[in-house]
Amino acid sequence: MMFVGFLGCYGAIQESQCLLGTFFTCLVILFACEVAAGIWGFVNKDQIAKDVKQFYDQAFQQALMAESETNNGKAVVKTFHETLDCCGPDNAIGVITPLWREDLCPKKDSILKTVFETSSCHKKIDELFSGKLYLIGIAAIVVAVIMIFEMILSMVLCCGIRNSSVY
């Protein structure tokens, strides 16, 4: 991305048609890849949610077995728990985890709230992919519109340089 941005900036500063054309071509390729990835993600959202849950389960097992604070699994699990406000998977270990591993779960006011108000991360992941999919779509549309404007402006600048009577 830095290279593509460099092509655009340096091409505009130097008024180089070649660099601006290369910048435009890179933007078209990136746009096509983003559209393809978005379509693939929408079609395979159930598989992606399943893969995210599987990744969470592996990190959760690493965090349970680890003793040190520098474990990557513990950091991943804490990020999931804080972001989704959940604790543990759907199984029995996930239900009792808030009681014996307080360092992994978000803090609640009392033990009763910790046990009864904590939802499983598998449910929260499913809610994220089914209920919040429109937010991901809105973000993708915003990025697509910005890229279309970048492509239009780079072509306008390239054509303006070609028609310039300075040289």
Residue 66 has pLDDT above 80, yes or no: no
Length reported for the chain:
167
pTM of the entire predicted model: 0.67
Beta strands in 15-115 (DSSP E): none
pLDDT at 51: 94
* CA-wise closest residue to 6 among 21, 19, 25: 19
Taking 3-state DSSP, the helix, strand and coil percentages for the chain, each rounded to the nearest 5, stand at 80, 0, 20
Rounded Cα distance, 116 and 103, in Å: 18
Q: Which residue would you say has higher pLDDT here, 146 or 103? A: 146
For residues 30 and 94, which has the higher predicted lDDT (pLDDT)?
30
Contact between 17 and 158 (Cβ < 8 Å): yes
List, for residues 113-164, the tens digit of each pLDDT value: 545 556 788 888 888 888 878 888 888 899 999 999 999 999 998 888 888 7
**Nearest by Cα to 8 from 166, 167, 146, 165:** 146
Helices 72-84 + 121-131 axis angle, to 10: 60
Domains in the chain with CATH codes: 1-164 (1.10.1450.10)
CA distance 76 to 48: 17
Q: Where is average pLDDT lowest: 16-30, 44-58, 86-100, 149-163?
A: 86-100
63 or 100: which leads in pLDDT: 63
